Structure 1
């Protein structure tokens, strides 16, 4: 991702059917995601991110705030045992101390700032306080008023910990972290908030009567409500970071806006908005860093059906819908669970000539591993081994994944590493397949015999090893 604004993902693990951390990291690398938020300091997760150059935001949960706030030694021990053994191989940039404490019992919010100070002191003892920033995440409920944005104000009932926290953030140049969900604003007040306004699709503007500023989307309005709240307390220089935002792809019968189309539209427009450094009406051109919630659907989350369907990917690592993290051209209208309509004509997918060797290696490893591509042809002495270089081997693997997943745009994305071409890249005895799987020398098309028999009556069929159908000629 480019700087100014960056786009990351939240890697939640409240589920019992997720891939291992190693496989999750491979998926993250495949899509060229450079920033990830996790909600604890799980050792296996930290190890999985080692030497990936992915920047991590790690969390200290509310349940640990009492221990961290009471004794400096607890923060010191945690840093020594849970962070230092893995840093800097695992690149940690932020530590969040507590999460949405305004939504927790009152005594929890009283612990957060002392805990933040103790974590910072522990970092100072090891000389890491300039490299790892300390903050805490909030819900929009930290405000008593958010509309119009210029009237944004922090709730007085949270003043006992908010002002000391803001002083801490300003002194240490740490961001104010907030979780923003235009989806909830629309769901809970659809008579006052239009769906297009929530999805960055509005053709009309909402005018702030106090400032004359024009808003075309709910996200900017929520950001600026916080900007004005910070300014009202004379903390205008604190940077805002959005540590969660997103849109669910499925919900209960009453959650009619929770669809793959809307989720894709929101997140696609969000990414474009952020990487284009659009800023907000109150702070045009200011970069905003955001984390999309969430990497996977999480089946153990309580509440309405939508709570378990915020993921960009299913647990089997297939896409819930088409999303390009580069912010480049994306067909927002195609969201059939990651299985888009095949492109017109014959096409292949090859590796980009501008991709780095490290990125190509990650993509190759994923395609031949979790991507279930048969990569035997690029092994030594096999027909596609020569030329023996990453670009050639990755091209073969990328094309295999592309073809067996319907030859769709998303199947050739590989985080910007894949490029579609209409020129057949086959050479000598190295054959690049087209749409379908190559099974024992046959093209295996993923349809039923009945569908084929309608147009190919009289042909014989048998079942391929991958479960699709082989046309025997």
Structure 2
């Protein structure tokens, strides 16, 4: 374990706070997508990518069952639609706890409940009962003797802080003073933490050029562009740090201290509409990988350097059924088949580990078709990849797409040549993944199912051609469960 992370473990001492000592980066799991993997497949993806903390936007019982015995820390959610009922009825809260918490612990490692999602910003009419809902749930946890393991809080949006910079003068919107005060008192009394949703993407876009994009992406700034709080003289190397500090200072205005902040949502979209020019693959990759490095160094923002900024990235999959602009549907770091949208890893040594174990090399989703064809031609020609399997009538011919054929050819070249310097690039059209892209009878070179063998736990591969309902297009559930067991051993 890296020294910085170990140091973070020693610094965060908040009694029985069960969210986990030390710095960690988790991920949100939304389910508003067309090709939603099964719960078992979702868990296989989590295990194959070594994701140890997840936040669910509801309390899906099938997924909670699939998460049992994985040791993955799980934050479940009371939906906005449930807040009013639970806030008005202790009995409803008890029923919710019995159904969604008591029925699953300890085999499923549930550690927190987020009550609603940005209730103050999205459903203000429920604000009067928000704290009551939190108290009712906590009382039910006490009755079940689960209150020391499971903490209760509610995600608050940065929208509730009208002027977040400079952080030293930031305050919550005064219209929410009574509710915020009650929330903070509850968190302090129950030894819980403050949940903050903070998106530098929106902070940057809404700043209309006041802040440089490097500041939003955790990139170094030249001396003439340094961001400094004029009151404290704290230097802010990232907008993320400034947002967290703005929340800490807003909390301190209530003369309450000792409540750590956990960032329950942050991220950067990798695609956007014509007016969303900063929503790009490159920016999303830069933001999330730099975020991971920042959080896992174990330190907090300038005003609270000893408190790690535990964070959940938004989000696991692209939720293509969500309304709104294209960017809203493009926050996922993985596609529903488990392959990465871009190079991504939840620990700073992941890329080194990926290169050491080899992984798989596949075509990047959304890559230019002409560039993919050029890469395919090179791999099957000068690259000497074995492309016989992607010819008509052969196991990997279907689906008959350039992306599918390029993935197979790219990977065959990479597996054979990486030991002598071969790379997974192909003009920027390729990406490495730890998830086995094999599917049905199409076995990718390097797979544990192939004659060559491999070191990577299989998950499941690209979706088959439209209308093909063959069970071979996705791995059998038993294989996925085996994959999870193997990953436990490894």
Decide: shared fold, TM above 0.5.
yes
CA distance in 2, matches of 1:344, 1:51: 33
Q: Give the aligned partner of residue 71 of structure 1.
A: 89
1:343 to 1:154, Cα distance in 2 relative to 1, 3 A: same
| TM superposition shift of 1:157 | 0.5
Tell me if 1:171 matches 2:196. Answer: no
Shift of residue 383 of structure 1? Answer: 7.4
Distance change (3 Å), C-alpha of 1:378 and 1:292: closer
1:18 equivalent to 2:78? Answer no
Provide the C-alpha distance between the structure 2 equivalents of 1:18 and 1:224, rounded to a whole number of angstroms: 36
- The secondary structure found in structure 1 opposite 2:311 is strand
| 8 A contact 1:178–1:243 mirrored in 2 | yes
1:31 maps to what in 2? 49
Match of 2:319 among 287, 298, 311: 298
- My pick for the range that moved more, 7-16 or 313-322, is 313-322
Question: What's 1:252 paired with?
Answer: 273
1:45-60 superposed matches below 5 A? 45-60=63-78
- Corresponding position of 1:359: none
Q: In 1, Cα distance between the equivalents of 2:163 and 2:117?
A: 21
Establish whether residue 89 from structure 1 lines up as the match of residue 107 from structure 2.
yes
How far apart are residue 105 of structure 1 and its match?
3.6
Distance 1:122 1:216 in 2: 42
TM-score by length of 2: 0.71
Q: How does 1:325-340 map to 2 (within 5 A)?
A: 325-328=346-349, 330=351, 336-337=364-365
Matched with 1:317 is 338
How far apart are the structure 1 equivalents of 2:105 and 2:311? Answer: 23
| Structure 1 residues 15-56: Cα deviation after superposition (integer angstroms, max 9, x where no partner) | 121211210110011110100000111111111111111000
Conservation of the 8 A alpha-carbon contact between 1:367 and 1:397? no
Q: Is the 8 A contact 2:26 2:53 kept in 1?
A: yes
| In 2, Cα distance between equivalents of 1:383 and 1:28 | 26
1:274 aligns with 2:295: yes
Structure 1 spans left out of the alignment, 5+ residues? 350-362, 385-392, 402-413, 419-473
Structure 2: how far apart are the matches of 1:26 and 1:128? 28
Note the C-alpha offset of 1:133: 0.3
Measured against aligned partners, the alpha-carbon deviations of 1:400-447 in whole angstroms (never above 9, x if no partner) come to: 99xxxxxxxxxxxx99x99xxxxxxxxxxxxxxxxxxxxxxxxxxxxx
Q: Which of the pair is proportionally richer in helix?
A: 2
Mapping of 1:334-353 within 5 angstroms? 336-337=364-365, 346-347=417-418
Match of 1:110, SS? helix
Cα distance in 2 between the residues matched to 1:157 and 1:92: 34
Aligned equivalents of 1:317, 1:178: Cα separation in 2: 28
From 127, 132, 145, give the equivalent of 1:114. Answer: 132
SS at 2:148's partner residue?
A: coil
Tell me, yes or no, if structure 1 residue 241 matches structure 2 residue 262. Answer: yes
* Whole-Å separation in 2 of the counterparts to 1:168 and 1:26: 37
Q: Indicate how the Cα distance of structure 1 residues 8 and 372 shifts in structure 2: closer, same or farther if over 3 A, else same.
A: farther
Matched residue SS, 1:325? coil
Deviation, structure 1 residue 160: 2.3
Normalising by structure 1, we get a TM-score of 0.73
SS of 1:284 mapped into structure 2: coil
The alpha-carbon deviation at position 187 of structure 1 amounts to: 1.6
Counterpart Cα distance in 1 of 2:132 and 2:164 = 28
| 1:125 has 2:143 as partner | yes
More strand by share: 1
CA 1:53–1:344 in structure 2 vs 1: closer, same or farther (change >3 Å)? closer
Distance in 1, matches of 2:218 and 2:32, equals 29
In 2, Cα distance between equivalents of 1:287 and 1:24:
28
CA distance in 1, matches of 2:121, 2:284: 25
| Partner residue in 2 for 1:395 | 455
CA distance in 2, matches of 1:208, 1:80: 47
- 1:305-360 Cα offsets, whole Å, 9 max, x none, are 000000001122221000121112759xx9944979976982369xxxxxxxxxxx
- Structure 2: how far apart are the matches of 1:224 and 1:183? 17
Question: 1:375 touches 1:397 (CA, 8 Å); kept in 2?
Answer: no
Distance 2:284 2:302 in 1: 24
Q: How many residues in Structure 1 have an aligned counterpart in Structure 2?
A: 378
Shift of 1:125: 0.4
Give the secondary-structure state (helix, strand or coil) at the position aligned to 1:186: helix
Q: What stretches of structure 2 of length at least 5 have no aligned partner?
A: 10-21, 353-360, 368-406, 421-433, 462-482
Distance 2:326 2:269 in 1: 9
Partner of 1:222: 243
Does the aligned pair in 2 maintain the 1:58–1:96 contact within 8 Å? Answer: yes
